């Protein structure tokens, strides 16, 4: 992301901001991605946040509102959704892509029907359980994940809140976020609403930072970061 020359509102320090980013990468973090943007803009952000295709990353992609079932548009260029370092859960299209080793190992996978998009009371718990299972698998398979190796994308909290309610979504984020931090991973969760939306404000305390997106006609996609710990907001920069 193009943050090297980010500028700030007020008297915020660039050094302090970059120190926070470095800490997020080394200690693990959970990021909320906001802004009333289209799915293709969200996909652009996802590709960036899932890490360079040249880096050794373990990627988990959880989709609660996929309309196409095509996870390739969310992965960095050249990353195979059926590859050994990718685990995909798509509740809407009843699809899953799991590393071959996980299918033949000691991990008990949920049944295919349980992955489906039925909006029942257990669907959110099943999504959480499979995300945790995927993280456990990569942690075990690698003999211990290094900082920032694990990358998780969840799309979207808007859909999950609509089906299950904000309180249940908050519980989901707390559980998954704790697991991500436990392996020093980096997770981002899409909530395509204005950054001052009531649901954004309600969920924001659960996250280390927010990445606000916007796309104006004829211009590149832009982002600005909000880091509540330091009361910092960057100016808009290119994604």
Long-range pairs for 144-148: beta carbons < 8 A, 24 or more residues apart: 145/58, 145/183, 145/184, 145/185, 146/184, 147/25, 147/26, 147/27, 147/28, 147/184, 148/25, 148/26, 148/28, 148/51, 148/57, 148/184, 148/185, 148/186
User: What one-character-per-residue DSSP string does 224-237 give?
Assistant: EEEEGGGTEEBPPE
d(CA 64, CA 32): 16
Q: Is the pLDDT of residue 70 over 70?
A: yes
Q: Is the pLDDT of residue 81 over 60?
A: yes
How much is the pLDDT for 2? 63
How much is the pLDDT for 118? 45
Residue with tokens 């996978």: 109
Mean pLDDT of 208-227: 95
How much is the pLDDT for 122? 85
Quick: pLDDT tens for 7-40.
776 556 788 888 999 999 999 999 999 999 999 9
Closest by CA position to 173, among listed 183, 160, 162? 160
Cα 84–chain centre separation: 19
How much is the pLDDT for 143? 95
Distances (CA, A) of 23 to 128, 139, 209: 25, 21, 12
Q: Which of 2-11, 93-102, 134-143 has the lowest mean pLDDT?
A: 2-11
For the whole model, what pTM was predicted? 0.93
Over pLDDT 70: what percentage of the chain? 88
Q: How many helices (H) and strands (E) does the chain have?
A: 8, 10
Average confidence score pLDDT of the chain: 89
Give the CA-trace dihedral at 156, 1, 196, 26, to 10 degrees.
80
User: CA end-to-end span of the chain, whole Å?
Assistant: 6
Range picked from 49-58, 59-68, 104-113 for highest mean pLDDT: 49-58
List the domains of the chain with CATH numbers: 14-238 (3.40.50.300)
Q: Is the pLDDT of residue 6 over 60?
A: yes
How much is the pLDDT for 9? 63
Quick: pLDDT tens for 151-192.
999 999 999 999 999 999 999 999 999 999 999 999 999 999
Quick: pLDDT tens for 107-150.
677 665 444 444 466 889 999 999 999 999 999 999 999 999 99
């Amino acid at each position: 992301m193009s943050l090297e020359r980010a500028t700030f509102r007020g008297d915020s320090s660039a050094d302090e901001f970059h120190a926070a980013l470095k800490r997020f990468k080394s200690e693990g973090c959970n990021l909320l991605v906001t802004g009333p943007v289209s799915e293709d803009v969200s996909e652009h952000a996802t590709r960036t946040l899932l890490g360079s295709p040249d880096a050794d990353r373990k990627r988990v992609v959880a989709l609660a509102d996929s309309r196409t079932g095509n996870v390739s548009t969310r992965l960095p260029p050249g990353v195979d959704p059926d590859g050994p370092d990718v685990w995909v859960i798509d509740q809407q299209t009843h699809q899953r892509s799991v590393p071959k080793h996980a299918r033949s190992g000691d991990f008990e996978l949920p049944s295919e029907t349980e992955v489906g998009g039925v909006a029942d009371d257990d669907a959110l718990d099943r999504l959480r359980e499979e995300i945790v299972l995927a993280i456990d698998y990569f942690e075990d398979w690698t003999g211990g994940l290094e900082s920032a190796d694990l990358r998780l994308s969840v799309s979207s909290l808007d859909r999950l809140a609509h089906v299950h309610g904000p309180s249940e979504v908050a519980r989901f984020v707390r559980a998954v976020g704790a697991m991500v931090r436990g392996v020093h991973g980096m997770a981002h969760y899409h909530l395509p609403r204005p950054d001052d939306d009531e649901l954004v404000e309600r969920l924001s305390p659960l996250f280390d930072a927010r990445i606000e997106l916007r796309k104006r006609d004829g211009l590149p996609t832009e982002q600005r970061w909000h880091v509540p710990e330091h009361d910092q907001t960057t100016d808009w920069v290119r994604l």
